[in-house]
Amino acid sequence: MLFDLNAPTEGSDEQTTAPAFLPASGSSSIYLDGIKANGTADISIQLNAKADLLQKPYSIDLSMKYEDADAAQIEGVSSISIPVKQDARFEFSEFEISPEAITVGEEANVMCSLYNLGRIKLYNVKAAFEGKCVKKAETFIGNVESGATASIDATLEGTKESTGSEKVTMTLSYEDEAGKVSSMTKEFQLEVGPEGMGDMPAAEMEEMEQGGFPVIPVIVIAVIIAAAAAAVIIIKKKKKKQMADEEEELLNELDGSAEDERE
């Protein structure tokens, strides 16, 4: 008995066209001495799938040639279905967070891109955001084709003051063609300040956060003191000039009286 496997040809051009399955070693033919009446026999062969196959079942033709007890040639044809599975493969871009620090009750916009680098389509893609200091948020992305890019855009509301930057986790979930759900996580940092700090000037807020010396108020006070001192100096100069003018006028009057008396 001679069994021969014939795999379909796959590929979009001459350089990539090749049988979908090739034997790991040797040929694609299998030889068997015979099978007894009402008996069974097992045949096996190891095949390697072409790397760029799509995720779907592939049909392989199986031809059989054998002889009966009278040495008559008999042929038969059958087919075998081989399902091919491809792993999902995707990446995220860096998160864009605006603003990078919020207060309780305020919102931050979080964006990133999803790149589907695999050969399978991602179905019902969703992104969920969770953290100790933010309200849980979820956004639906939909289906993402192989080789396509999708945008993830979510708004996070601060619910609790954080101690410095707090971790927020994004969980991306998706389904394959069979409806099996898989997920992957990615983390980023977000700072949430106490409620009401959003109304304070940025410089003053930064001083409070750093816990350092209040430089801005001191500068303002110094400017006011300098202005007051300058005003005092100007007033004193004006008074001094006025007194000098009065003395000069008085001396002129005295000199005039003395001249009249000599005449």
User: What does the pLDDT read at residue 136?
Assistant: 95
Of residues 139 and 215, more confidence is placed in 139
Q: Which two tokens stand for residue 110?
A: 């979080």
**Residue 163: how many CB atoms within 10 A of its CB?**
9
pLDDT exceeds 80 at position 120: yes
Confidence band for 223, pLDDT divided at 50, 70 and 90: low
| Stretch 147-159: mean pLDDT | 95
How many angstroms separate the CA atoms of 13 and 53, rounded?
Answer: 14
| Helix 202-210, helix 215-262: angle, nearest 10 | 120
User: What does the pLDDT read at residue 198?
Assistant: 54
Out of 1.10.1740.10, 3.30.420.40, 1.10.10.10, 2.60.40.10, select the CATH number for domain 90-200.
Answer: 2.60.40.10
Confidence band for 140, pLDDT divided at 50, 70 and 90: very high
Annotated domain spans of the chain: 2-83, 90-200, 213-263
| Stretch 193-211: mean pLDDT | 59
Residues 6+ apart with CB under 8 A from 136: 128, 129, 130
pLDDT exceeds 60 at position 213: no
| Stretch 162-174: mean pLDDT | 93
For the chain, give the percent of residues with pLDDT over 70: 75
How many angstroms separate the CA atoms of 144 and 132, rounded?
Answer: 30
- Of 169, 157, 84, 170, the closest CA to residue 125 belongs to 170
pLDDT exceeds 80 at position 215: no
Query: Among 17-26, 35-44, 77-86, 248-257, which stretch is predicted with the lowest mean pLDDT?
Result: 248-257
